[in-house]
Structure 1
Amino acid sequence: MTEPRKLRVLTFSTLYPSSVRPGHGIFVETRLRELIASGQIESRVVAPVPWFPSTDGRWGEYALMAKTPAREHRNGIEVLHPRYGLLPKIGMSLAPLGLYLGAKAAVQQLLDEGFDFDVIDAHYYYPDGVAAAMLARHFNKPLTITARGTDLNLIPEYTLPRKMMQWAARRAQASIGVCSALVDVLRGWQIPAERLHVMRNGVDLQRFRPVPQARVREELGLQGSPLLMSVGYLIERKGHHLAIEALARLLPRYPDARLVIVGEGPERKNLQSLAEQLGVAQHLSMPGAQPNAELYRWYSAADIFILASSREGWANVLLEAMACGTPVVASDIWGTPEVVSEPVAGRLVGQRSGQAFAHELEQLLAAMPDRAEVRRFAEGFSWAATTQAQLDLFGRLSRARTQGGGRDA
């Protein structure tokens, strides 16, 4: 008896890892890997990269883009990295068209090779989702677009990108939000309820796991009590400066406190200067970016994880920290209340200020949850429900197309 053909999904996003940028968009790859592990899906990935003329390391991130291979296998998944034009400064409004033009040949190549996919699954609404809507129209394929955060809680403030996203949302057979707050934005655009889905991110419970705190602190050369940690790209929006301000307010009561900020980015010098101005430089460590596969050690070393962002969709770092047994103190924004939904997980901060974070840190330190209980809470966020929801959705869209439906004008 012939087994039924697996559903064929074309994953489309500029947010996808490569051999030279292994941490870039890893959350998209993780969701896809979990989906493929179901045994019911076959996928190819088109992950376009902006064209850049030089691989000279002096250009930093741009040089890494230039070094990205045109095609590669990652974790058993075929990934194509076509180039697209992105003009500095004026590129924001033109990005979807450039992305579409750059990716179209790669998609056709996959079709010519026999990968006649059933659905395009795009990640990040702008410019990726808009470009994917153009591709879906050109190739006459059903489309899903996943919103992940700043694509819907920041970019719609710009008129032209908002109009393009609204056009893409009307064309897509389904829009997915990683939290309810993002879906509410789409609902406000009058997108029919039957096309809206909440599919939260899960956490890799094998990768992010507790290890003995004392041992890993010694291995990483970390000291401090309490040991606080913040992880993320060093930009203003991530709020690392608020964690430093909170540290300054904690020190009179906790003179051995220490803050570790894991990450790299343009705000490094400003953060170091702030620590010096506040007199806490000796209590701050900034070890730079760390491989995703090693983050569990840093999370496990911390007493409390801090996320002081001004904008987040569904912050994966919160679940990663909790999976390692570390409670969190986080800004009460967007999808974060859906993650920090029980006292055992930590505390939410209503006002984004160093004083407010210091207050909630003190409250948590006075009643710290058992780390094993924090881990058990995180175990409730496996990928199983999201994987099944995707299988149901993609299967429904494929059947509708086969039966002559599933396309919109």
Structure 2
Amino acid sequence: MKILTFSTLFPNTEKPGHGIFVETRLRHLVASGQVESRVVAPIGWFPSKHPRFGDYARLARVPKSEVRHGLQVEHPRYPVLPKIGMNVAPLLLAQAAKPAIARILDEGYDFDLIDAHYFYPDGVAAAMLARYFNKPLVITARGSDITLLPQYALPRRMITWAANRADGVITVCHALRDEVVALGVPQERVTSLRNGVDLQLFRPIERTANPLFTLLTVGHLVPVKAQELIIAALPLLPDVRLVVAGDGPNRGMLEALARELGVEARVQFLGAVPQAQLRGHYGNADALVLASSREGWANVLLESMACGTPVVASRVYGTPEVVAAPEAGVLMDERTPQGVADAVDRLRAAYPDRAATRRYAERFSWDDTTAGQIALFQDILNRRLRQPSRALAC
């Protein structure tokens, strides 16, 4: 089976952690030996590589083509238009990707199916491309593409069109499946396939006891992750320290908050940490804390558990499906500093055996997800074979 994976959420040489969850799932799928894939991961166009332009310049330095873990990845450029960009992004994305996909076909890689990730603009663009190239389409919903973007009228209409145009929709948790069905997509066409965890990369380490109970939070420092709730809980947790792994626009605000609350000596900012180095931080922590306002399926929760470290997490969307047993950790009753502190106290009062936490994570290997993808793709292709003259959807 040959697939074309399509998403702007895919790692590259300049941002190796960007969309790594898409690459990880794909690597396990290809490792099955039953699927081949080429990847088209468009990059926003920027005219200069000069360092003074920061992240924009980094995008400009991404090569047009690269090989990652044996996967051939193309990075066509698409224009990003300020202010009006949100509404026209799917069309611009599709137009930019067409020549790259046509070249892939000309090279002899006649793929069977488009495997798209994130509904807007990626999934909508993929629906346009599937129609143009007359290929079946599967779109994976991953979180805010379904929980946030449909709040806007035009994106909602386009997401709904793409979901109904797709031959299959995958969601990374049951809660997202319910949201997709609520958009009007027949429930029999929506499959929930949760993410797994790399049990070889993330595993327990030799550790020594921490002088202070150590919390770790991992993620981009952006509003949706709400790390400020964890910092604001520290005055209520006088014998607790916090390690922050990640970077982003909220860093200055978070550092200022720690100083304002007088807890800066108990907060350590690591900056961005490569995934391969996270194992040590997970293993050395006593608990991972995730206070997000939205999450589809938070991979960091399982990564932490696989290292033997239980979690404290907000009760949003797919998270209760991940944190579903005492050995996994606890869920907050409320997303407030007090709610964080109370949940940490509850975890400490009944702290699970770390070996049991690891065993819990072992239930979430990638094997079931890979098998589910293969079965879905094969079913779609079989249905296509039974309908060779199927008209293109409008």
Shorter-normalised TM range: over 0.9
Partner Cα separation in structure 1 for residue 230 and residue 113 of structure 2: 43
Partner of 1:4: none
Partner Cα separation in structure 2 for residue 311 and residue 247 of structure 1: 22
Contact 1:200 1:314 in 2 (8 A): yes
Matches within 5 A, 1:44-123: 44-123=38-117
Matches within 5 A, 1:365-376: 365-376=348-359
Matches within 5 A, 1:87-166: 87-166=81-160
How far is 1:237 from its partner? Answer: 1.1
Partner Cα separation in structure 2 for residue 186 and residue 360 of structure 1: 31
Partner of 1:333: 316
2:254 to 247, 271, 284: 271
Partner of 1:358: 341
Partner of 2:368: 385
Partner of 2:176: 182
State the Cα deviation string for residues 156-192 of structure 1 (Å, max 9, x = none).
Answer: 1111111100000110010110001111111112211
3-state SS, counterpart of residue 139 of structure 2: strand
Contact 1:173 1:407 in 2 (8 A): no
Partner Cα separation in structure 1 for residue 157 and residue 211 of structure 2: 50
1:247 to 229, 234, 240: 234
TM (norm. structure 2) is 0.98
3-state SS, counterpart of residue 344 of structure 1: coil
Residue 170 of structure 1 aligns with an amino acid whose one-letter code is: N
Partner Cα separation in structure 2 for residue 195 and residue 267 of structure 1: 39
2:14 to 17, 20, 23: 20
How far is 1:59 from its partner? Answer: 1.7
Contact 2:160 2:184 in 1 (8 A): no
Contact 2:246 2:272 in 1 (8 A): yes
Partner of 2:297: 314
Contact 1:171 1:408 in 2 (8 A): no
How far is 1:224 from its partner? Answer: 4.3
Partner of 2:218: 231
Contact 2:230 2:340 in 1 (8 A): yes
Contact 2:226 2:292 in 1 (8 A): yes
State the Cα deviation string for residues 98-129 of structure 1 (Å, max 9, x = none).
Answer: 10011011111100001111100000000000
Partner Cα separation in structure 1 for residue 231 and residue 84 of structure 2: 35
How far is 1:399 from its partner? Answer: 2.0
Partner Cα separation in structure 2 for residue 267 and residue 229 of structure 1: 17
How far is 1:88 from its partner? Answer: 1.6
Partner Cα separation in structure 2 for residue 388 and residue 407 of structure 1: 29
Partner of 2:328: 345
How far is 1:408 from its partner? Answer: 5.9
Residue 255 of structure 2 aligns with an amino acid whose one-letter code is: Q
3-state SS, counterpart of residue 185 of structure 2: coil
Moved over 4 A (4+): 405-408
- Asked whether 1:303 is paired with 2:286, we answer yes
Contact 2:131 2:392 in 1 (8 A): no
Partner Cα separation in structure 2 for residue 130 and residue 407 of structure 1: 19
- Asked whether 1:288 is paired with 2:288, we answer no
- Residues matched between the structures, number: 392
3-state SS, counterpart of residue 327 of structure 2: helix
Residue 141 of structure 1 aligns with an amino acid whose one-letter code is: K
Which sits farther off after the overlay, 314-323 or 205-214? Answer: 205-214
Contact 2:222 2:249 in 1 (8 A): yes
2:24 to 26, 30, 36: 30
State the Cα deviation string for residues 295-353 of structure 1 (Å, max 9, x = none).
Answer: 01110010010000000000000000000000000000000000000011000013110
Partner Cα separation in structure 2 for residue 273 and residue 35 of structure 1: 44
Contact 1:10 1:44 in 2 (8 A): yes
Residue 304 of structure 1 aligns with an amino acid whose one-letter code is: A
Residue 157 of structure 1 aligns with an amino acid whose one-letter code is: Q
How far is 1:80 from its partner? Answer: 0.3
Unmatched 5+ stretches in structure 2: none
Partner Cα separation in structure 1 for residue 14 and residue 125 of structure 2: 24
Partner Cα separation in structure 2 for residue 130 and residue 86 of structure 1: 16
State the Cα deviation string for residues 63-92 of structure 1 (Å, max 9, x = none).
Answer: 111011101110000000000011122211
CA RMSD of aligned residues (A): 1.1
TM (norm. structure 1) is 0.94
Identity of aligned residues (%): 55
Unmatched 5+ stretches in structure 1: 1-6, 218-222
State the Cα deviation string for residues 250-296 of structure 1 (Å, max 9, x = none).
Answer: 01xx2xx2100110000111001111111101110001011011101
